Structure 1
Amino acid sequence: MDGFKAPFKGITKDVNGRKTCYKQDWTTGIYSGFRTLALTAYIFFAFALPDITFGE
């Protein structure tokens, strides 16, 4: 019956335990954003443009 008194207790416990790693996660994500942008541009030019060309 304790679960009914605090239904989100496990979620808050997980968030509080992970709180120390959030700064590292955000900075790593921002620094790896340039690689993600390059990959996205490659996928666009490699796959989307031929589809648009042959679609017309």
Structure 2
Amino acid sequence: MKRHPIPAETRALAAFVGTVVLALLAAVSQLTPEVAVQSVDSVPQLPSGLDELLLSRLSD
């Protein structure tokens, strides 16, 4: 079985695309903290015993 080395141009393009994707994820993550805080704030409003119900369903 022959190994075909990846050309330098392909590696450079993959590194560039990876960098752009990481930059976009970082930019999006700066927009989401408000949503995350709102969802964490709503956790105490869940009905009591809901966590036990979910754990029992997951363990079955």
**When the two structures are superposed, what TM-score results if normalisation uses the length of structure 1?**
0.45
**When the two structures are superposed, what TM-score results if normalisation uses the length of structure 2?**
0.43
Greater percentage in helix: 1
